[in-house]
Amino acid sequence: MSPYRRIYDRSLKDPSGFWGEAAAEIDWGRKWNKALDDSRAPFYRWFAGGQLNTCHNCLDRHIAAGRGVQLALIYDSTVTGTIQTFTYSELRDRVARFAGALRRQGVEKGDRVIIYMPMVPEAVIAMLACARIGAIHSVVFGGFAAKELATRIDDAKPKLIVSASCGIEPNRVVQYKPLLDAAIEIAAHKPRGCIILQRPQGRANLIAGRDIEWDEAVAGCEPADCVPVAATDPLYIIYTSGTTGQPKGIVRDNGGHAVALKWTMKNIYNVEPGEVYWAASDVGWVVGHSYIVYGPLLHGCTTILYEGKPVGTPDAGAFWRVIAQHGVRVMFTAPTAIRAIKRDDPNGELIHKYDLSKFRALFLAGERCDPDTLRWAGTKLKVPVIDHWWQTETGWPVTANCLGIEPLPVKPGSSTVPVPGYDVRVLDDNSREVAPGKTGCIVVKLPMPPGCLPTLWNADERYRHSYLVAFDGYYLTGDAGFKDEDGYVWIMSRIDDVINVAGHRLSTGAMEEVIASHPDVAECAVVGVADELKGELPLGFVVLKAGVARDPQMIVKDIVQLVRDNIGPVASFKTATVVQRLPKTRSGKILRGVMKRIADGAEVKVPPTIEDAGALDEIGAALREVGYAKPRASEGSET
């Protein structure tokens, strides 16, 4: 039996034994009673009874083991021209001091702290400082607008918010503070205070009595020690898009998370402690949590915090420069980033400027990876390029090519095989497993392995309803696809209103809620249409109220701005079209899937349930006006 097969089979036959052994890699203050607690199934818990501290396992334990002088964090900012390094000892000291500062502001174990920051070391320090004192952090991505931040403030009810004066995008300085102020104004919950990091690129005005500067907050603070927390206590909450405007607060625990992430570093990514690992993502996304901060530090690696883009900062060689300069062994990014590089440097000429001799593998996730992009990267970089699939909910890969166990042949377009711990099945609507090659809903048989979400923040019922009721005994991933004859998993699409724009997960339902609030709009629909660079882009269809006489172009301009103001620039909502009616079924359901296919120029079968087939022609005409609905070249067209 192959090593992968043996390890995988064991992980499913004896999950408690398998993860119990993996847990030996973590320092526990008190050992757990039982690896898997299924007494409240389907709410499973891992390592109940155990106590640990995640920050201790990320920093102090490595210092005790002699890694104090090794680099823990390299901050490489192409947008400010800064490189700053932190050894494990230096990072621990900064974290302990900031943990003391949080304490001085009244933050205690179990309190929530929202972190709304750009890619600066203080964001990582704030996360680890929360973990150190048992506070629960919730990092909010900087590209979200004030209203999205306000929704998260109202759900997490933070005692404190840590933010910065500004973020830096290549084309502009983004003032964070006005967004923060507006969010607190909108939110019903008011935090007790805010700690603001002043950046020289744009200083913020502070509100007396509420805001305090980072430097002042840490001045004279006693460093705080690690506080033991229960393995099942939350480490963080991360909000992710669901099908409505109310994001889901994914809860991550301490014990299962530490065990699982530590295990992945060797078994999936095949990196050793002491090596440099780089995830080019943002701390606001789950990839940033798991593979900029926690995974590499739990494993004793050097991690890189990169503030910049794959292209334009200054060019499409930026990633290769970072790999060469810092000796990166393994890198993780989104396919979009590679597509952007390929677009600017199609022959990969900039790669030859750098010494990539230490570089061993590139991992891609966050969106479907088209085979062309995967092949291009493999040919140009001459290292294995591994597509792997996971979600905010799981916190670590569900399917992958586990390089540390046994590299399997790569099939471009497939994210390879289930990772040990995940019993991945493909089911039809009647909960029956489908034959190899047949598409169905991708689910994971319960229990999920450690580190996956135990529930949603303060919303057990929403957790059950969103993930567990569709197929009894299984977790619903929300993705559709198939397994082939070799057991490889192919993730093809979502089954809900979630779209993936440049690897960022967004809800078309949330955008529709915003557009519907425009006074001239009677109804609307948003679908994700194929985009060469970003994978998918949102596209809006708007039906105006009877009697509206304004220029439709002005209304479209309004709604584009409305989505930017309410959801944020990250939504990349730039195109909408006004139509007379939306295609619907006789029972009134909007045929979003059909509209998407028309926009993508794919073959469309008119559904028998359609109320008025003429609506489809109208949609096609409107789409052609905004540059969509062009027949695909492969279908014999002139394009």
Size of the site for ligand AMP (CB under 6 A): 20
| 252 touching ligand AMP, by CB under 6 A | no
Tell me the residue length of the chain.
Answer: 639
Residue 50 or 296 having the CB closest to ligand COA: 296
The single-letter code of the amino acid at 185 is: E
Neighbours of 598 (CB within 10 A): 24
Exposure string for 106-144, b = 16+ CB within 10 A, e = fewer? ebeeebbbbbbbbbbbbbbbbbbbbbbbbbbbbbbbbbb
Q: Which of 111, 211, 479, 600 binds ligand AMP (CB under 6 A)?
A: 479
Minimum gap (Å) between residue 176 Cβ and ligand COA: 8
* Pairing of the two strands 211-213 and 45-48: unpaired
Query: Positive or negative, the Cα torsion across 517, 521, 524, 530?
Result: negative
Residue 311 or 417 having the CB closest to ligand COA: 311
- The residue with tokens 């805001």 is 211
* Pairing of the two strands 328-333 and 276-279: parallel
| 478 touching ligand AMP, by CB under 6 A | yes
| 415 touching ligand AMP, by CB under 6 A | yes
* 209: its two tokens: 């009595």
Minimum gap (Å) between residue 84 Cβ and ligand COA: 19
Binding-site partner at residue 337 among ligand AMP, ligand COA, none, CB < 5 to 8 Å by type: ligand COA
Q: Which of 158, 234, 366, 421 binds ligand AMP (CB under 6 A)?
A: 366
| 144 touching ligand AMP, by CB under 6 A | no
Q: Which among 164-172, 177-185, 476-484, 586-594 is the span making contact with ligand AMP, rule CB under 6 A?
A: 476-484
| 240 touching ligand AMP, by CB under 6 A | yes
CA distances from 401 to 194, 405, 475 (A): 43, 9, 22
Binding-site partner at residue 392 among ligand AMP, ligand COA, none, CB < 5 to 8 Å by type: ligand AMP
Minimum gap (Å) between residue 175 Cβ and ligand AMP: 26
**Residue 520-559 contact track with ligand COA, rule CB under 6 A, x = bound:** -------------x--------------------------
What residues between 340 and 369 interact with ligand COA by CB under 6 A? 340, 366
Minimum gap (Å) between residue 178 Cβ and ligand COA: 13
Which secondary-structure segment (H or E) carries 162?
strand 160-164
Minimum gap (Å) between residue 387 Cβ and ligand AMP: 5
Q: Which of 48, 74, 311, 402 binds ligand COA (CB under 6 A)?
A: 311
CA distances from 345 to 306, 317, 322, 341, 369 (A): 21, 8, 17, 6, 19
CA distances from 98 to 126, 223, 224 (A): 7, 7, 8
| 282 touching ligand AMP, by CB under 6 A | no
How far apart CA 427 and CA 211 sit, in angstroms, is: 52
Greatest Cα pair distance, the chain, in angstroms, is 74
What residues between 477 and 506 interact with ligand COA by CB under 6 A? 502-503
Residue 348 or 569 having the CB closest to ligand COA: 569
How far apart CA 478 and CA 300 sit, in angstroms, is: 34
Minimum gap (Å) between residue 387 Cβ and ligand COA: 12
* 425: its two tokens: 């099945």
How far apart CA 514 and CA 274 sit, in angstroms, is: 47
CA distances from 562 to 241, 512, 517, 557 (A): 18, 11, 9, 9
- The residue with tokens 């909408």 is 576
Binding-site partner at residue 494 among ligand COA, ligand AMP, none, CB < 5 to 8 Å by type: ligand AMP
| 455 touching ligand AMP, by CB under 6 A | no
Binding-site partner at residue 218 among ligand COA, ligand AMP, none, CB < 5 to 8 Å by type: none
Minimum gap (Å) between residue 601 Cβ and ligand AMP: 21
* 144: its two tokens: 């979200």
Residue 94 or 368 having the CB closest to ligand AMP: 368
Residue 181 or 387 having the CB closest to ligand AMP: 387
How far apart CA 173 and CA 199 sit, in angstroms, is: 11
How far apart CA 80 and CA 230 sit, in angstroms, is: 40
| 500 touching ligand AMP, by CB under 6 A | yes
| 281 touching ligand COA, by CB under 6 A | yes
Closest CA to 257 of 238, 282, 281: 238
| 169 touching ligand COA, by CB under 6 A | yes
* 494: its two tokens: 């979502």
| 146 touching ligand COA, by CB under 6 A | no
**DSSP-assigned beta bridge partners for residue 427:** 433, 441
Binding-site partner at residue 368 among ligand AMP, ligand COA, none, CB < 5 to 8 Å by type: ligand AMP
| 483 touching ligand AMP, by CB under 6 A | no
The single-letter code of the amino acid at 527 is: V
Residues that bind ligand AMP (CB under 6 A): 240, 286, 365-369, 387-389, 391-392, 415, 477-479, 491, 494, 500, 505
